[in-house]
């Protein structure tokens, strides 16, 4: 092993039994484990966050399979590279099986044309595709490729998994086993927890700490909590505003406001802010929640949210976080009613799918002199001329008489 290579590369698992984590998909009773072990793999899309083990799984497959294994990165590769890999796999002298496993890292970076170029080879079995992506493949990968592949959803590694990997790296002869390192389990745990589920970040931190710390008088490299924290820098955010986690986090934020949980609301707001979300975008979500979920139970929520959106645009970050927190928490602790939301949706359903008839003539607008002779506005009763500023008269079209769209619930007190 070339010790000049990064630690994360040197200690990458070579076999399935060495792989740590992802038991939900790589447990011995799971289909992915069985197909890799039996070398009967069909095309697969590995979908998960950075540092969760996608490339390591591909490495294990490359060490297990009898097929030719070709690795490409979608950032630098193109259609010509794909065709070259296919042509070489068809060479009976060099590759008796006539097939290859083609691992494409960051496959979401291939455009439609490049992905389409893969399709005939995947379809006829010349290529067994392994695609790795941090993006939701159902949005970023050709649907035809998706339909011919097993999509495997990987999760961020737990801190316990990363702890085990770090411990192994400290003793592995290809890792840091040749160094005299003094490090407490508490410090290893801290690195694992601060890595945000990204094992590559954890290993890079450990390696940097070892390589930049002087040997003490006893011949040891002593790694303290302070050294580890300095090498880690800011805790890695488990959030990418341009990726799938953007949608997950904003969904959790909205649902926490709707669910009247101020603590969860401010937690997901903090994740969004730390991840670099546009504060005006977050303010708009709060405005929508104020109308949809708080509604008529507390109409002032919409006033607060709208004012917050204007203030956020005017003030900007970092102070805008205070405004966002106030408006979001106000939404979360307010009484809730979605009766206006339901009312407009019911009405839209009828307008779009029914013959709803015509507007009654007496409430139409007589925009020009002479239109009265055709009944426009004739017979209209002006409510302010009557007691309590109300008067009974028909407003709905004849065909819609008796229809109820707005059904007041117990939280509305107006």
pLDDT (average), residues 141-167: 92
Report the relative pairing of strands 181-183 and 221-223 from DSSP bridges.
Answer: parallel
**Residue 132 φ then ψ, to 5°:** -115, 135
Q: Which pLDDT value is given to residue 100?
A: 87
pLDDT (average), residues 158-174: 93
In whole angstroms, give the CA distance from residue 224 to residue 58.
34
Confidence band of 60 (pLDDT split at 50, 70, 90): very high
Helix (H) or strand (E) holding 181: strand 181-183
Task: Tell me the percentage of the chain whose pLDDT exceeds 90.
Answer: 54
Report the C-alpha dihedral over residues 328, 334, 339, 341, rounded to 10 degrees.
Answer: 0
Task: Tell me the percentage of the chain whose pLDDT exceeds 70.
Answer: 96
Q: Which pLDDT value is given to residue 163?
A: 95
Q: Which pLDDT value is given to residue 241?
A: 52
Confidence band of 218 (pLDDT split at 50, 70, 90): confident
Residue 267 has pLDDT above 90, yes or no: yes
Nearest to 71 by CA among 134, 129, 137: 129
pLDDT tens, 295-328? 999 999 999 999 999 999 999 999 999 999 999 9
Angle at 112 between CA 108 and CA 115, to 5 degrees: 70
pLDDT (average), residues 171-190: 92
Pick the CATH number of 159-232 from 3.40.50.1820, 1.10.8.60, 1.20.58.480, 3.40.30.10: 1.10.8.60
Could you confirm whether domain 22-153 is CATH 3.40.50.300?
yes
pLDDT tens, 22-35? 999 888 888 889 99
Q: What is the mean pLDDT of the chain?
A: 89
Residue 234 has pLDDT above 80, yes or no: no
Q: Distance between the two ends of the chain, CA-based, in angstroms? A: 75
pLDDT (average), residues 325-345: 95
Same fold, 159-232 and 244-333: no
pLDDT (average), residues 239-259: 80
Q: Which pLDDT value is given to residue 243?
A: 58
Q: Where are the alpha helices (DSSP H) in 316-356?
A: 320-333, 339-353
Lowest pLDDT segment from 2-6, 138-142, 215-219, 409-413: 2-6
Which string of b and e fits 226-265 if b means at least 16 CB within 10 Å? Answer: ebbbebbeeebebbbbebbbbeebbebbbebbbebebebb
Q: Which pLDDT value is given to residue 237?
A: 53
**Residue 143 φ then ψ, to 5°:** -60, -35
Q: Break the chain into its structural domains and give their ranges.
A: 22-153, 159-232, 244-333, 340-400
pLDDT tens, 354-402? 899 999 999 888 878 888 888 888 899 999 999 999 999 999 999 999 9
Decide if 337 contacts 372 (C-beta within 8 A): no
Q: In Å, what is the CA distance from 238 to each residue of 52, 195, 361?
A: 12, 9, 60
pLDDT (average), residues 334-354: 93
In whole angstroms, give the CA distance from residue 328 to residue 290.
9
Decide if 338 contacts 410 (C-beta within 8 A): no
Residue 94 has pLDDT above 80, yes or no: no
Q: Which pLDDT value is given to residue 279?
A: 92
Q: Which pLDDT value is given to residue 27?
A: 87
Lowest pLDDT segment from 5-19, 83-97, 161-175: 83-97
pLDDT tens, 285-297? 999 999 999 999 9
Residue 96 has pLDDT above 80, yes or no: no
Could you confirm whether domain 244-333 is CATH 1.20.272.10?
yes
Q: Which pLDDT value is given to residue 84?
A: 87
Confidence band of 50 (pLDDT split at 50, 70, 90): confident
Residue 269 has pLDDT above 80, yes or no: yes
In whole angstroms, give the CA distance from residue 287 to residue 323.
13
Q: Residue 258: is the preceding peptide bond cis (ω within 30°)? A: no
In whole angstroms, give the CA distance from residue 99 to residue 83.
13
Q: Which pLDDT value is given to residue 232?
A: 83
Residue 77 has pLDDT above 90, yes or no: no
3-state SS class at 68: strand
β-pair partners for 238 = none
Residue 349 has pLDDT above 80, yes or no: yes
CATH class of 340-400: mainly alpha
Q: Which pLDDT value is given to residue 2?
A: 58
Q: Which pLDDT value is given to residue 191?
A: 92
How crowded is residue 217: how many other Cβ atoms within 10 Å of its Cβ? 5
Q: Which pLDDT value is given to residue 239?
A: 56
Burial class of 303 by CB neighbour count within 10 A (0 to 12, 13 to 18, 19+): exposed
| Strand-by-strand arrangement of the 68-73 sheet | 68-73, 100-105, 127-133, 44-47, 150-153
Residue 73's contacts (CB-CB under 8 Å, 6 or more residues apart) are 104, 105, 106
């Amino acid at each position: 092993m070339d010790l000049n290579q990064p630690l994360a590369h040197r200690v990458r698992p070579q076999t399935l039994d060495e792989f740590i984590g992802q038991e939900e998909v790589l447990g011995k009773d799971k289909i992915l484990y069985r197909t890799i072990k039996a070398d009967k793999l069909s095309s697969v899309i590995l979908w998960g966050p950075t540092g969760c083990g996608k490339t390591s799984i591909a490495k294990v497959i490359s060490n297990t399979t009898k097929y030719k294994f070709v690795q490409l990165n979608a950032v630098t590769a193109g259609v010509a590279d794909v065709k070259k890999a296919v042509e070489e796999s068809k060479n009976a002298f060099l590759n008796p099986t006539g097939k290859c496993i083609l691992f494409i890292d960051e496959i979401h970076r291939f455009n439609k044309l490049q992905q389409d170029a893969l399709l005939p080879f995947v379809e006829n079995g010349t290529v067994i595709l392994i695609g790795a992506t941090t993006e939701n493949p159902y949005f970023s990968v050709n649907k035809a490729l998706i339909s011919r592949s097993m999509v495997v959803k990987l999760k961020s590694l737990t801190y316990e998994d990363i702890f085990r990997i770090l411990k192994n790296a400290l003793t592995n002869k290809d890792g840091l086993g040749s160094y005299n390192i003094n490090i407490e389990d508490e410090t290893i745990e801290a690195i694992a927890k601060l890595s945000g589920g990204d094992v590559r970040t954890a290993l890079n931190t450990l390696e940097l700490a070892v390589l930049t710390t002087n040997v003490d008088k006893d011949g040891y490299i002593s790694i303290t909590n302070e050294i580890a924290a300095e090498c880690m820098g800011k805790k890695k955010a488990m959030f990418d505003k341009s990726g799938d986690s953007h949608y997950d986090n904003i969904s959790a934020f909205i649902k926490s406001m709707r669910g009247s949980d101020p603590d969860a609301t401010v937690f997901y707001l903090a994740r969004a802010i730390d991840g670099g979300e546009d504060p005006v975008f977050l303010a708009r979500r709060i405005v929508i929640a104020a109308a949809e979920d708080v509604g008529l139970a507390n109409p002032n929520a919409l006033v607060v949210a709208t004012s917050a959106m204007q203030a956020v645009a005017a003030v900007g970050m970092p102070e805008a976080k205070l405004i966002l927190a106030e408006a979001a928490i106000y939404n979360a602790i307010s009484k809730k009613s979605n009766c206006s939301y339901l009312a407009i949706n019911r009405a839209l359903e009828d307008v779009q799918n029914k013959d709803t008839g015509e507007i009654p003539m007496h409430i139409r607008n007589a925009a020009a002199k002479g239109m009265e002779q055709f009944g426009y506005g004739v017979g209209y009763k002006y409510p302010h001329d009557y007691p309590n500023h109300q008067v009974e008269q028909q407003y709905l079209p004849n065909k819609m008489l008796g229809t109820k769209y707005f059904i007041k619930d117990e939280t509305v007190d107006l």
